[in-house]
Chain A
Amino acid sequence: MDRVMRMSSEKGVVIFTKSSCCLCYAVQILFRDLRVQPTIHEIENDPDCREIEKALLRLGCSTSVPAVFVGGKLVGSTNEVMSLHLSGSLVPLIKPYQSLLY
């Protein structure tokens, strides 16, 4: 889906979320702790919500939200983010986008 491709290829860390999803919130907290300010696309109240979800699943995301993209490439959902982080591979991935502050 065009919109999804466009939104996900934005620079930096992009996360598709739903405001009602608390795991999405958890993932955002994690990135905040890693000194990254991701671009958040909240799809809950979007008219194309269902389409976007389907597109995200088609792209290979295990659950539609949260869907994390870094530098235009799909990283995955909560599972994948956690696994990457514990194996030490997440930080190198987001290093270019880490804030120097705090």
Chain B
Amino acid sequence: MNSTSTHFVPPRRVGIYEPLHQIGMWGESFKSNISNGNMNTPSHLIIPSHQKLDNNLSEDTSHGTAGTPHMFDQEASTSRHPDKIQRRLAQNREAARKSRLRKKAYVQQLETSRLKLIQLEQELDRARQQGFYVGNGIDTNSLGFSETMNPGIAAFEMEYGHWVEEQNRQICELRSVLHGHVSDVELRLLVETAMKHYFELFRMKSSAAKADVFFVMSGMWKTSAERFFLWIGGFRPSDLLKVLLPHFDIMTDQQILDVCNLRQSCQQAEDALSQGMEKLQHTLADCVAAGQLGEGSYIPQVNSAMERLEALVSFVNQADHLRHETLQQMYRILTTRQAARGLLALGEYFQRLRALSSSWATRHREPT
């Protein structure tokens, strides 16, 4: 009965595919449903207690609905006052009628939502077919799609989809080559191709940042787990080193020293940029907050605020520059084989993050 591709869980007793039938049923079986206690009604459909009629709906109700204190009075008086019975039955019918109307409105809401959901899913499928990169499940849908209205961002999302495909292909190749036997020249070529691939991503991001810096800052093209580790629109350079290092077994003393220095300078550069970002946030907040009370959404210092936002683009570029330089330095310090292993480790790390995002999203789709 329920559509398996949605997250949408209708109330148990309501078949959203047969609303009219249900409403009919609702009216007829109203009394018995209450008494059987199997009515899974949302709270706004429960008869308000001031009508005090729940008590009269069934002769054998055992729930304490509001108004119970009057039950015994009514039972005692109905035998002596038939017109009271009539009045109560009328009130009963009225309550039932109102309840049916509320139920109808609710079901109509559900219907509309269901249609909207189907529409969104179709959009998603279409986008996927066209090569747009679409993150898992519902994580990115509402925000992701409003951005595709921007041609620069739409272009980026399409390019990114291709980028990931190529990335996966390169990772496969690295993996198979490292398990087998390969000449140093060949390996070097693979490593340089992989490096250039990352640099290409930074170039793409730079264009995207010009189109919409918030899109890049929020990592909207990434899966949810990747976004968790976001630092100024991408991965932390220091994290990169952390991921790579365990995979280098034999290192010369010079290499160990160089890596140590790189880690330290990378961390210092990262900290400096982080603090610069914080300052940017503070000054932007001050800009937005400035002015008298009661100005509503009018921003007295809007020009100043816009200038701050322009500065964000430089920050994104600087952060990518840092990532670029970190990769470059690692390549300089390591041997070709070590670099190949490092790039494989890095690529697999991001693949695992994406897989984790999928697992997480699918986990929530399981019926409870």
Contact = CB atoms under 8 A, between A and B. Distances in A.
Interface of A: 20-23, 25-27, 29-30, 33-34, 63, 78-79, 82-83, 85-88, 90-91
Interface in B286-322: 307, 311, 314-315, 318, 321-322
Query: Nearest 7 pairs between A and B by C-beta?
Result: A26-B276, A30-B272, A22-B280, A29-B272, A86-B325, A26-B272, A22-B276
Contacts of B280: 22
A21 B308 CA distance: 9
B357 interface: no
A41 B329 CA distance: 32
13 contacts: A20-B307, A22-B279, A23-B314, A26-B275, A29-B276, A30-B272, A63-B314, A82-B318, A86-B269, A86-B325, A86-B329, A88-B258, A90-B265
Contact of B269 (A20, A63, A82): A82
B277 interface: yes
Contacts of B277: 22, 26
A86 B262 CA distance: 6
Contacts of A90: 265
Given A34-B268, A82-B325, 10 more contacts: A22-B280, A22-B283, A23-B311, A23-B315, A30-B268, A33-B268, A82-B321, A83-B321, A86-B322, A88-B261
Which of A23, A33, A79, A91 is the most central at the interface, judged by chain B CB atoms within 10 Å of its CB? A23
A23 B273 CA distance: 7
Given A22-B276, A23-B276, A29-B276, A79 B321 contact: yes
A22 B285 CA distance: 14
Contacts of A30: 268-269, 272
B275 A25 contact: yes
Interface of B: 258, 261-262, 265-266, 268-269, 271-273, 275-277, 279-280, 283, 307, 311, 314-315, 318, 321-322, 325-326, 328-329, 332
Contact of B276 (A25, A33, A86): A25
A33 B262 CA distance: 15
Contacts of A86: 262, 265-266, 269, 322, 325-326, 328-329
B266 to A, nearest CB: 6
Nearest to B278: A22
A21 B272 CA distance: 14
A49 B326 CA distance: 35
Given A20-B307, A22-B315, A78-B318, A85 B269 contact: yes
B149 to A, nearest CB: 29
Given A82-B325, A86-B262, A29 B275 contact: yes
Contact of A82 (B261, B279, B311, B322): B322
Contacts of A87: 325, 329, 332
A21 B262 CA distance: 27
Contacts of A20: 283, 307
A27 B314 CA distance: 13
Nearest to B282: A22
Nearest to A63: B314
A42 B328 CA distance: 33
A91 B261 CA distance: 11
A92 to B, nearest CB: 11
Contacts of A27: 272
A25 B268 CA distance: 14
B89 to A, nearest CB: 74
A63 B105 CA distance: 61
A22 B262 CA distance: 24
Contacts of B328: 86
